[in-house]
């Protein structure tokens, strides 16, 4: 039977979903490598693992039978395909974390009887559980809970699954004083049976699967306490949430905490202040105040993207920031995205909205004048300022803002051109990411969401072309069912940074729905009219967010071509001030971003200040350099590059400035 996810960290038993290839009690089990093992009677997943070898039997956490995740105790009595899940698999890590959440809940109820458990899902890198304790937890309680968890691991309690009807489960949890759990169950349809997992005296509602016994766990750490409203509603009772992380082995746990330390050192908000790039103010929540160096970096990104787009055959346009509600109703945004839009009403009662997306304005431009099939494809790019309402609690530096700039583009093409245009976009995106030092890029394909516009035939066509482009390029991609935009399927480009974190940046979406809604068309070779395909494309996504990602990727030590200041020229005493200023003028004339540091400070202090500002190169000028008309060049890491002439320095900097795709030095985080 298939376990259906319900989004609340537990599950219900759904319809029978296994394909019974044979009703024989002598199953043939096909393994991932294509080999087949035959058994003379029904056998559990654990039994199959044991038949393969003792190492796998020990490592087995769960199984996938005909595409369905099951416990190792699951009996296979028919011909089936089987994959054994271990801690090396992503699914295994998920099971470890969810099982560790149950382990924590059991320890809490042992130590603090009367505490109610509510919801305990896995999250990125860990898990949490919300509790309703009789007495509030204190931070020091986490150590005691961890110690009790380790005791339960040592007990190696078997974990077993059972089922109950909804009403039985409600009565059961009420009898245990678990009113929150009973409330959760009451929202489930009455005719659905529920799965419960038991380990020792602890039992909880859960979709599973789970580890075979508590002894399979042990590499975990509880990280923090927080408050959480019951079911996320501020009108409900306040609960206490305990966060934790869990891993298959101690090495991975240690690496995780090392990444956390690195992430803290690399926090773009700290770097933004340290490098003098930007600031935030309460008067404009979710909007950036750019300092000169930060705005230079912002313009460098725009200049780079503009050049790449021009080379790829794009034209650049610009559309208004504020447009009438009627346009957003036509596009479908008013019905599907209204809660995220900023609006205003004029004296004549017309309602306008700050644009959350650039697409409708682009279609309005496309519709100006008659278009022929000979005009297509039209690649229309825009650095559009967009505004989206994000809850105050979700705002996070440059990573989550309300006012930002998209390097947006919309491509209008024929259906016959669609797949080739998708390939061109994918190639451009991957090339751009390599220039910024991101070589590890994951592609995620998302198909039709439940809330969408357009018919199924149109979605079939769009999804087929988007997948076809990736398949023809022999690219690997993962699948996110139901996560497409409301108007079309999409590819997300996910970049892995220097410390192993993933960031979703660029997107590619194919769309026949907006051209239909806006009555956009082109004249065919036969003289008729046809809808164009509309591709929505972003390279960096939000420029503000991408700057935050790049700053953390390089720990602020940006490559020369991206550095707001490429070279700082420092005088030792006032006597060299004039020559220092002349050097800066000449470097600027040659196209470099140079600044003079003429402060009346000791040279050691100035070198340290410019090094902390992560300026790639420093020139120190004393009496000897002024007399010889030379420049003492050094790198920000302290390496002395010797005295050089202006021509030699310019040639060297020019070579460094031309380099793209440098990998960041992991040691540059302070």
Active site residue 505: no
pLDDT at 15 over 60: no
Q: Which of 508, 531, 553 is the last residue of a domain?
A: 553
Q: Which residue of the set 210, 410, 531, 606 is catalytic? A: 410
Identify the DSSP state of 305: H
79 and 153 together in one domain:
no
Q: Given the residues 78, 98, 424, 490, select the one marked as catalytic.
A: 490
The CATH number of the domain holding residue 374 is: 3.30.930.10
DSSP code for 531 = P
Q: Which of 106, 116, 406, 576 is an active site residue?
A: 406
For residue 260, is it within any domain?
no
Question: Looking at the structure, do residues 107 and 136 belong to the same domain, yes or no?
Answer: yes
pLDDT band at residue 666 under the 50/70/90 scheme: low
Total number of domains constituting the chain: 4
- Report the pLDDT averaged over residues 139-146: 96
Residues 424 and 541 in one domain: yes
**Do 569 and 305 form a contact (C-beta atoms < 8 A)?**
no
Task: Reply yes or no on whether 490 is catalytic.
Answer: yes
pLDDT of residue 669: 44
The beta strand positions in 499-630, using DSSP E, are 502-511, 522-523, 529-530, 533-542, 567-571, 594-597, 617-621
Q: Is the four-CA dihedral 395, 401, 403, 409 of positive or negative sign?
A: negative
In this predicted structure, what is the pLDDT of residue 287? 94
Residue 179 is predicted with a pLDDT of 93
Of the listed 206, 359, 413, 422, which one is catalytic? 359
Instruction: Name the H helices within 382-520.
Output: 415-435, 456-472, 513-517
Domain termination residue (choose one: 32, 67, 89): 89
Cβ-contact 545, 551 below 8 angstroms: no
The span from the CA of 375 to the CA of 366, in Å, is 11
Q: How confident is the model at residue 665 (pLDDT cuts 50, 70, 90)?
A: low
Query: Residue 575 is encoded by which pair of tokens?
Result: 């006597």
* pLDDT band at residue 443 using 50, 70 and 90 as cut-offs: very high
Across the range 111-117, mean pLDDT stands at 95
Is residue 167 among the annotated active site residues?
A: no
Lowest mean pLDDT among 23-37, 263-277, 418-432, 507-521: 23-37
**Residue 91 — pLDDT band, cuts 50, 70, 90?**
very high
Contacts of 137 (CB under 8 A, 6+ apart): 112, 131, 225, 240, 242
Q: Confidence band (pLDDT; 50, 70, 90) for 361?
A: very high
DSSP classification of residue 71:
-
Mean pLDDT of 33-38: 92
612, part of any domain = yes
The per-residue pLDDT for range 44-78, each reduced to its tens digit, is 999 999 999 999 999 999 999 998 999 999 999 99
For 440, the 3-state DSSP assignment is coil
pLDDT of residue 14: 38
Quick check: 160 and 197 in contact, CB under 8 A?
A: yes
For residue 320, being part of any structural domain is answered with yes
481 shares a domain with 357: yes
Pair 243, 306 in one domain: no
| Predicted local confidence at residue 25, as pLDDT | 62
466-491 tens-digit pLDDT = 898 999 999 999 988 888 887 789 99
Task: Return the ∠ at Cα 648 (arms to 643 and 652), rounded to 5°.
Answer: 105
Give percent of the chain with pLDDT exceeding 90. 79
**Do residues 470 and 423 make contact, with C-beta atoms less than 8 angstroms apart?**
no
pLDDT of residue 453: 75
Tell me: do 130 and 27 sit in the same domain.
no
Per-residue pLDDT, 8:
37
What is the residue whose two structure tokens read 């000979």? 374
The region of weakest confidence among 13-27, 91-105, 370-384 is 13-27
Q: Which of 71, 130, 204, 408 is catalytic?
A: 408
Q: d(Cα 487, Cα 294) in Å, to the nearest integer?
A: 35
Given a contact cutoff of 8 angstroms between Cβ atoms, the answer to whether 37 and 28 are in contact is yes
**pLDDT, tens only, 292-339:** 999 999 999 999 999 999 999 999 999 999 999 999 999 888 887 888
| Same domain membership, residue 228 and residue 166 | yes
Distance, CA of 412 to CA of 402 (rounded, Å): 28
pLDDT over 80 at 12, yes or no: no
Q: How far apart are CA 204 and CA 530, in angstroms?
A: 57
500 and 518 inside one domain: yes
444 is catalytic: no
What distance in Å separates the CA atoms of residue 394 and residue 285, rounded to the nearest whole number? 11
Partner residues linked to 196 by β-bridges: 162, 205
Q: What's the CA gap between 159 and 65, in Å, rounded?
A: 19
Residues whose CB falls within 8 Å of the CB of residue 157, separated by 6 or more in sequence, listed in order: 199, 200, 213, 214, 215
**Same domain for 642 and 586:** yes
* The pLDDT value given to residue 4: 35
Across 4-35, b (16+ Cβ under 10 Å) vs e yields eeeebbbbbeeeeeeeeeeeeeebebbeeeee
Residue 395 falls inside a structural domain: yes
* DSSP secondary structure letters along 115-164: PEE----EETTEEEEEEE-SS---TTHHHHHHHHHHHHHHHT-BEEEEEE
Residue 67 lies in a domain: yes
Rounded CA-CA distance 402/565 in Å is 28
Q: What span, in angstroms and rounded, lies between the C-alpha atoms of 149 and 640?
A: 54
Mean pLDDT of 568-578: 95
Q: What confidence tier does 41 reach under pLDDT thresholds 50, 70, 90?
A: very high
183 shares a domain with 328: no
Two tokens at 397?
Answer: 């530096």
Is residue 333 part of the annotated active site? The answer reads no
Q: Which of 451, 440, 509, 447 is nearest to 476 (CA)?
A: 440
296 lies in some domain: no
Interatomic CA distance for residues 273 and 291, integer angstroms = 10
Residues 456, 324, single domain; the answer is: yes
- Residue owning tokens 């009438």: 324
Separation of alpha carbons 213 and 309, rounded Å: 56
The Cα 436–Cα 439 span in angstroms is 9
291 belongs to the catalytic site: no
Q: Is residue 236's pLDDT more than 70?
A: yes
**Backbone φ and ψ of 267, nearest 5°:** -50, 120
pLDDT for position 347 = 85
Distance CA 433, CA 539 (A): 9
Q: Which of 266, 388, 400, 424 is catalytic?
A: 388
pTM value is 0.78
Is it the case that residue 11 has pLDDT exceeding 90? no
Cα dihedral sign for 279, 283, 287, 290? negative
Quote the CA–CA distance of 502 and 493 in Å, as a whole number. 10
How would you classify residue 614: left for phi > 0, otherwise alpha for psi between -120 and 50, otherwise beta?
left
Please state the φ and ψ torsions of residue 61, each to the nearest 5 degrees: -110, -35
Please name every residue paired with 64 in a beta bridge, in sequence order, or none if there are none: 69, 83
Burial 599-618 (b: 16+ CB within 10 A, else e): eeeeeeebbeebbebbbbbb
Is residue 375 within 8 A of residue 522, CB to CB? The reply is: yes
Distance CA 580, CA 118 (A): 67
**How sure is the predictor about 668, in pLDDT bands with cuts at 50, 70 and 90?**
very low
Residues of the domain holding 229: 91-255
Q: Are 539 and 429 in contact (CB under 8 A)?
A: yes
- Does the pLDDT value for residue 449 go beyond 90? no
Residue 459 pLDDT greater than 70, yes or no: yes
Residues 61, 213: Cα–Cα separation, whole Å: 9
The rounded percent of the chain whose pLDDT value lies above 70 is: 95
Does 592 reside within a domain? yes
Query: What is the pLDDT at residue 631?
Result: 96
Domain for residue 293, yes or no?
no
Taking the alpha carbons at both ends of the chain, their separation in whole angstroms is 53
Burial 517-538 (b: 16+ CB within 10 A, else e): bbebbbeeeeeeeebbbbbbbb
C-alpha to C-alpha distance for 588 and 653, rounded to whole angstroms: 12
Residue 611 and residue 668 in contact, taking contact as beta carbons nearer than 8 Å: no
Same domain, 542 and 506: yes
501 is catalytic: no
CATH classification at residue 196: 3.30.980.10
Please tell me the distance from the alpha carbon of residue 439 to that of residue 460, in angstroms, as a whole number.
32
Among residues 522, 553, 584, the one where a domain terminates is 553
> Is 30:63 a contact under the CB 8 Å cutoff?
no
pLDDT for 20 equals 39
Predicted pLDDT of residue 9: 38
Residue holding tokens 């898990």?
Answer: 127
């Amino acid at each position: 039977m298939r376990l259906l996810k319900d989004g609340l960290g537990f599950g219900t038993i759904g319809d029978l979903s296994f394909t019974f290839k044979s009703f024989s009690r002598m199953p043939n089990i096909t393994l991932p490598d294509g080999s087949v093992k035959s058994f003379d009677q029904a056998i559990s997943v654990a039994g199959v693992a044991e038949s393969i070898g003792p190492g796998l039997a020990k490592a087995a956490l769960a199984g996938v039978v005909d595409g369905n995740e099951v416990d190792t105790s699951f009996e296979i009595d028919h011909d089936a395909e089987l994959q054994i899940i271990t801690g090396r698999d992503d699914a295994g890590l998920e099971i470890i974390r969810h099982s560790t959440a149950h382990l924590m809940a059991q320890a809490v109820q042992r130590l603090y009887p009367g505490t109610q458990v509510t919801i305990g899902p896995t999250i990125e890198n860990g898990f949490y559980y919300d509790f309703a304790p009789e007495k509030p937890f204190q931070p020091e309680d986490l150590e005691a809970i961890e110690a009790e968890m380790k005791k339960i691991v040592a007990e190696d309690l078997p974990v077993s699954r059972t089922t109950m009807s909804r009403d039985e489960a409600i009565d059961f949890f009420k009898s245990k004083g678990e009113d929150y759990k009973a409330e959760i169950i009451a929202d489930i349809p009455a005719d659905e049976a529920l799965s419960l997992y038991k380990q020792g005296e602890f039992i909880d509602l859960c979709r599973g699967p789970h580890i075979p016994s508590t002894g399979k766990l042990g590499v975990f750490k509880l990280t923090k306490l927080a408050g959480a409203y019951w079911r996320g509603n501020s009108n409900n009772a306040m609960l206490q949430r305990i966060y934790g992380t869990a891993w298959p082995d101690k090495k991975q746990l240690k690496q995780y905490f090392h990444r956390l330390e690195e992430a803290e050192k690399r926090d773009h908000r700290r770097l933004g202040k340290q490098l003098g790039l930007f600031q935030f103010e309460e008067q404009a929540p979710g909007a950036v105040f750019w300092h000169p160096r930060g705005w230079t970096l912002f313009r460098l990104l725009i200049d780079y993207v503009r050049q790449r787009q021009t080379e790829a055959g794009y034209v650049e346009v610009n559309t208004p920031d504020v447009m009438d509600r009627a346009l957003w109703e036509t596009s479908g945004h008013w019905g599907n995205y209204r809660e995220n839009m900023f609006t205003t009403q004029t004296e004549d009662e017309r309602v306008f909205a700050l644009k959350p997306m650039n697409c409708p304005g682009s279609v309005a431009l496309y519709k100006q004048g008659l278009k022929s099939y000979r005009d297509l494809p039209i690649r229309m790019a825009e650095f559009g300022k967009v505004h989206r309402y994000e809850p105050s609690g979700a705002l996070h530096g440059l990573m989550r803002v309300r006012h930002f700039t998209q390097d947006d583009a919309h491509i209008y093409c024929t259906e016959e051109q669609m797949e080739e245009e998708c390939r061109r976009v994918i190639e451009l995106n991957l090339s751009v990411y390599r220039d910024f030092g991101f070589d590890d890029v994951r592609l995620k394909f998302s198909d039709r969401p439940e809330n969408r516009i357009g018919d199924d035939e149109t979605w079939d066509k769009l999804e087929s072309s988007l997948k076809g482009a990736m398949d023809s390029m022999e690219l690997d991609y993962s699948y996110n069912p139901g996560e497409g935009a409301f108007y079309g399927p999409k590819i997300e480009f996910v970049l892995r940074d220097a410390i192993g974190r993933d960031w979703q940046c660029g997107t590619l979406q194919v769309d026949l729905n907006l051209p239909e809604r806006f009555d956009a068309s082109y004249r065919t070779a036969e003289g008729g009219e046809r809808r164009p395909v509309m591709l929505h494309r972003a390279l960096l996504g939000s420029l503000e967010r991408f700057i935050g990602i790049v700053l953390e990727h390089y720990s602020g030590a940006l490559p020369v071509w991206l550095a707001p200041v490429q070279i700082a020229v420092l005088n030792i005493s006032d006597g060299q001030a004039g020559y220092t200023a002349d050097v800066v003028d000449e470097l600027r004339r040659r196209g470099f971003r140079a600044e003079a540091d003429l402060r009346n400070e000791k040279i050691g202090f100035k070198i340290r200040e410019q090094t902390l500002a992560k300026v790639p190169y420093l020139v120190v000028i004393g009496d000897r350099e002024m007399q010889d008309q030379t420049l003492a060049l050094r790198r920000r890491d302290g390496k002395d590059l010797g005295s050089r002439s202006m021509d030699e320095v310019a040639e060297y900097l020019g070579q460094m400035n031309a380099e793209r795709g440098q990998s960041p030095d992991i040691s540059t985080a302070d």
